[in-house]
């Protein structure tokens, strides 16, 4: 009898936990369904497609080839160049956007006349479609009627209009400026939320102790914002790797494929060459790179936190 009672006591909580789990899953089903449909299913389907020879120009060649698309992808003339361009763009974009958004957030969270207008102004790029933003930036640096050339010419800094988009590094810098413009609002809002959540008592105690401004920023503001900075670094990294709209509208991957990031070639493999298998392989590669970078960021944050505690 005692063993039966003990068994019932052991089974009882397990059954209740299982019932609670089913209730939770049923409650979350409406929210999880779109995530599975529009996120996980496309990812798994891309992985599945990357294992097949799937070119609409040659439908009769459809068949399973395993890692064949991945091998063929690395042997194409543009693959390593696009990876290099993606790395250059990401290395340039990440520090610029993270520190620019931090500076803007520190500015607009100050109490002064016009701060509310600046906070609203930060959100303006969100209201403009990416294609429109890219077109505006392309016009600004146009070789015939761009405002940038016009200003330089009027001040005597150049003797004739320069086709900036046709020059490798200037074209990359133009993409960086346009990307910073469209990607700045999200990190800025996150930093603003983090700054406003810092207890003011910490600042007051630091000022009473005679701490200098830089020391206050380093020991309080920066330390408090470390987790948010990690989120912004991850966000900016993924956005820079997946950036496509601005490239398509401003440079078309030129000059000489210097601004053709991996996402741009994924688009061309799928919609120009109609090679869905190789395009899926490129997409899976970008996904793997993103996962590796996210893991590295979290490891770096964890190691940094351990060193601070030590």
Distance of CA 95 to the CA centre of its chain: 13
User: pLDDT value at position 307?
Assistant: 63
Q: Would you state the pLDDT for residue 308?
A: 57
- 92-145: pLDDT as tens digits: 999 999 999 999 999 988 887 877 888 888 888 888 999 999 999 999 999 888
pTM assigned to the model? 0.85
Mean pLDDT of the chain: 87
Report helix, strand or coil for 215: helix
**Range in 49-53, 189-193, 201-205 with the lowest mean pLDDT:** 201-205
Residues 219, 206 contacting (CB under 8 angstroms): yes
Q: Residue 166 gets which letter from DSSP?
A: G
In this prediction, residue 15 has a pLDDT band, given cuts at 50, 70 and 90, of: confident
Average pLDDT over residues 140-158: 92
CATH class for the domain made up of 79-259: mainly alpha
The closest alpha carbon to 285, from 46, 84, 35, belongs to 46
Task: Return phi, psi of residue 40, to 5°.
Answer: -70, -40
50-109, pLDDT tens digit by residue?
999 999 999 898 999 999 999 998 888 888 899 999 999 999 999 999 999 999 999 988
Residues 70, 269 contacting (CB under 8 angstroms): no
Q: How large is the average pLDDT for residues 263-280?
A: 91
Q: Compute the distance between CA of residue 50 and CA of residue 79 in angstroms, rounded to an integer.
A: 16
User: What's residue 1's pLDDT?
Assistant: 47
């Amino acid at each position: 009898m005692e063993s039966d009672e003990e068994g019932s006591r052991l089974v009882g909580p397990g059954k209740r936990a299982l019932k609670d789990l089913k209730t939770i899953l049923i409650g979350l089903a409406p929210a999880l369904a779109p995530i599975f449909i529009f996120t996980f299913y496309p990812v798994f389907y891309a992985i599945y497609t990357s294992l097949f020879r799937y070119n609409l120009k040659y439908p009769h060649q459809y068949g399973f080839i395993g890692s064949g698309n991945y091998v063929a992808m690395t042997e194409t003339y543009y693959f390593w160049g696009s990876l290099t361009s993606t790395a250059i763009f990401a290395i340039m974009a990440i520090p610029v956007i993270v520190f620019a958004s931090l500076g803007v957030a520190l500015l607009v969270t100050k109490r002064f006349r016009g701060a509310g207008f600046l906070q609203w102004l930060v959100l303006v790029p969100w209201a403009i479609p990416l294609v429109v933003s890219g077109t505006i930036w392309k016009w600004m640096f146009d070789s015939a009627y761009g405002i940038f050339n016009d200003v330089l010419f009027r001040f005597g800094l150049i003797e004739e209009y320069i086709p900036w988009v046709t020059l490798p590094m200037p074209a990359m810098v133009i993409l960086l400026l346009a990307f910073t413009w469209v990607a700045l609002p999200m990190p800025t809002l996150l930093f603003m939320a983090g700054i406003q959540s810092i207890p003011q008592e910490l600042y007051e105690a630091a000022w009473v102790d005679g701490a200098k401004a830089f020391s206050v920023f380093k020991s309080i503001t920066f330390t408090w914002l470390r987790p948010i900075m990690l989120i912004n670094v991850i966000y900016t990294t993924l956005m820079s790797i997946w950036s496509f709209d601005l490239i398509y509208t401003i440079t078309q991957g030129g000059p000489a494929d210097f601004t053709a990031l991996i996402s741009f070639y994924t688009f061309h493999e799928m919609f120009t060459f109609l090679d869905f298998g190789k395009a899926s392989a490129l997409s899976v590669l970008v996904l793997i790179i993103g996962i590796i970078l996210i893991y590295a960021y979290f490891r770096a944050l964890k190691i940094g936190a351990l060193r601070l505690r030590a």
